[in-house]
Structure 1
Amino acid sequence: MPDVSYGTSPRQSGNESSAENRCTDAVCINASRIYDSCGSKDCLSNLTVYFTPCNQTVINNASSVKICKASVITAELSVEPVAFHRGYYAVDVTFFFDISLEAYSCGCSIPSKVNGLAVYGKRAVLYGSEASTRSFSSDECVMCAEKNTSCTYSAFLPKATVQISEPMALSAKLVKGCVPPLPCVPIPECVITYFGDDFACSGTASVNATIGIFTITQLERNVQIMIPSYDFCIPRKECKPTSDDPCEVFSKVEFPNESFFPPNARAEEKEKYNFECSCNG
């Protein structure tokens, strides 16, 4: 590895041509290639919110609710081939949301904060190509095939991943009546641990929440590809130690001018909201 001083960049000698500077080496790497992907914008309306017995008591005595925040706890994915469409796979995703609410009871101006679980599932059909080989690695646990069974198709399935933005908490409403049954999908143990208790199966009121999400679902496989290689990623600067003096750290913070002097609208915003005033008289 060449010895490069921190804070400097490699210098080229004057007799080196620009063509030589652009020369690269071709290297083979093992990478995860995305074969297909899709994005979606979903408004999830009237999601039933499930509560622990303690929080369900608060909902039973509430006269109204207000949604405060929604966040993703976890998601479960499964992939299965689509019949009669070689290379295509159905990706089933189940999201588990934490819905934060404020519950208002009759004659009380201070709301009670409660959290509940909302579950939503969706399916996407994507192209994931085909493969008929199994891969083994020295840094992975040994996986043995079951005896007296045909070759498991799951060994050849592509890998599914999903990305989701922070949900937008839109609305929530209180519904008087029996609590709907829990979803048919099994609730992961980590979700039960997250809320600290099992969920109530009965009650005199329930909550329906509406949230908005943005997701990207994709199918990928490990492939060997050839890429150009320029050089190793050598650090160009030194990691300087930070000071323990809080005043010294504060002295490096720039003065927040925008907090004292709010900026004017940008030019593109002025054009976007350039309404004409048609005044008569």
Structure 2
Amino acid sequence: MTTSSRPGLTVLMANPRGFCAGVDRAIQIVERALEKYGAPVYVRHEIVHNRFVVDQLRGKGAVFVDELDEIPDPERPVIFSAHGVPKAVPEDAEARRMFYIDATCPLVSKVHREAEQHFAEGREILLIGHAGHPEVIGTMGQLPPGAVQLVETVEDARRIVVKNPDNLSFVTQTTLSIDDTAGIIAVLRERFPAIAVPRKEDICYATTNRQEAVKGVAARCDLVLVLGAPNSSNSNRLVEVALTGGAAAARLVQRAAEIDWSWFEGVTTLGLSAGASAPEVLVEEVIDACRERFEVTVETVSDVRENVVFKLPRVLAS
């Protein structure tokens, strides 16, 4: 029996959570480039969707830009983000005689190659994803305008008009909700039985594992907190998965400082996860903030181990 007047709080740690292999590789690319070439190293867009990570890299000498024409010295390295870029971006870099390093996640690159193969074989291509997301922009930008149609919802799948149902294919964004995407695919396959499907699931292993981990804790939780950025697709999907999985409430926060402690009224069990771009230090920060207010018991749920590692680009490997 505790002598503390603080209420008890059980924290269920969804596992796995946080950094995936693609994010870890992208961050290493920026860090290795800074070590090898010195500062500044330019990065087109956020290397990953996490303000804390971006700020840390900025503090080491990375300079983040929206477009290549913002880079004053074309001889300095420029790195493309983990989400991938349209083909026009490296073409522009080459025209400007820039030295660029591509940090696109290999699993995103796999989707790019799939789309190119479908196009080369004359198929019409549907992309399941979210309009405006950098990964979707990058994937659609691998092919000529109009070659890819975007499908965002089951309703889109029901309404979409294609030229030749017998020569059709689809690919998906890697960070989608597994369940939502399954519903969209089911409609497409019902409408277009001949549709060519990916040889291997496009939704990446890390997205799948993190969603399954959240499902494993959600029904036991009065509240689930997901550490992640508002523009992070996989983090937003974790919040949705928590709610559909039975959590009484679920919130996305970037840091412990963003927590509204009124959310904890009546909460005795908290679920905690982190999107694939959120470092573990932010999870620990939330636990420390909870310990200031509650008698905390931490329980790790699931024992899934991820051992995926992606090689660095050859120019940085040595």
**Same fold per superposition (TM over 0.5):** no
Higher strand share: 1
TM-score by length of 1: 0.20
- Rg (Cα) greater in structure: 1
* Structure showing greater relative contact order (alpha-carbon pairs closer than 8 Å, 6 or more residues apart): 1
TM-score by length of 2: 0.18
